[in-house]
Amino acid sequence: MLRRSHTAVLEKNEVFTENFETEPYETGWACEAIWFVRVLEATPGTKLVAHAQVSPDGLFWCDKGDAPLSLEGEGLVHLPLRDFGGWLRLRCELKGERPSAKVLIYLFLKE
């Protein structure tokens, strides 16, 4: 069988003005992952920094330790991952004086 893959859209045009985490997503079947974060709109000076997090149970989380995604203003960035276990989420920090970002967040997974 061909290697299975899947794209999940975790946030759709949501506007965030403070730090947030994405919903837990189960990844036990996959070996490869790529996070895509697209900032559609941002107030001047907004910087988004996103850390991949892993979990043993989908309840308690720690940073995976990879270099975080970082984006100032609008644009699209990605973060490839391996060895992430059964769960993934993004811990997102919004920096700036009055930060606001409208985001699309995708998680691509592959066996």
Partner 1 sequence: MTTDHRLSKFDPLSRILFFDDFDEGINGWCELLGNHDNNLDNIKPRTRDPRPAQLSTCSFFDIGTHGSVDGIYALKLATRPRVNHMAQLIKRMTYVKRGLVQMETYFTYKAETVFDSSIQTPRQWDGNYHPVESMFGEFTISNDVNDGPRGSRHHCVLRYVNTDREGNLVRKWMYKTSLQVTTRMQLQGTPVPEDWHTVNPDDWEEVPGGHFALCHNEVPTKINWHYLRWVFDTETRRNVELQVNDRIMDLRDIPVPVYDDTYHGCDRLLNFIFDVRTYMPVRNFLFLDSVLVSVDW
* 24: contact with partner 1 by CB under 8 A: yes
* 58: contact with partner 1 by CB under 8 A: yes
Q: Rounded distance, CA 41 to CA 15, Å?
A: 9
Half-sphere exposure at residue 72, Cβ-oriented, CA atoms within 13 angstroms: 4
Q: Give the nearest distance from C-beta 4 to partner 1 in angstroms.
A: 5
Question: Which residue lies nearer to partner 1 by CB, 17 or 95?
Answer: 17
Q: Which of 60, 67, 83, 97 binds partner 1 (CB under 8 A)?
A: 60
Q: Give the nearest distance from C-beta 87 to partner 1 in angstroms.
A: 8
Q: Residue 3 gets which letter from DSSP?
A: P
Q: Rounded distance, CA 58 to CA 91, Å?
A: 14
Q: Rounded distance, CA 69 to CA 80, Å?
A: 10
* 23: contact with partner 1 by CB under 8 A: yes
Report how far apart, in Å, the C-alpha atoms of 52 and of each of 3, 22, 82, 98 are. 24, 10, 11, 24
Q: Which of 21, 29, 44, 74 binds partner 1 (CB under 8 A)?
A: 29
The contact set with partner 1 (CB under 8 A) reads 4, 6, 8-10, 12-13, 23-26, 28-29, 56-60, 86, 104
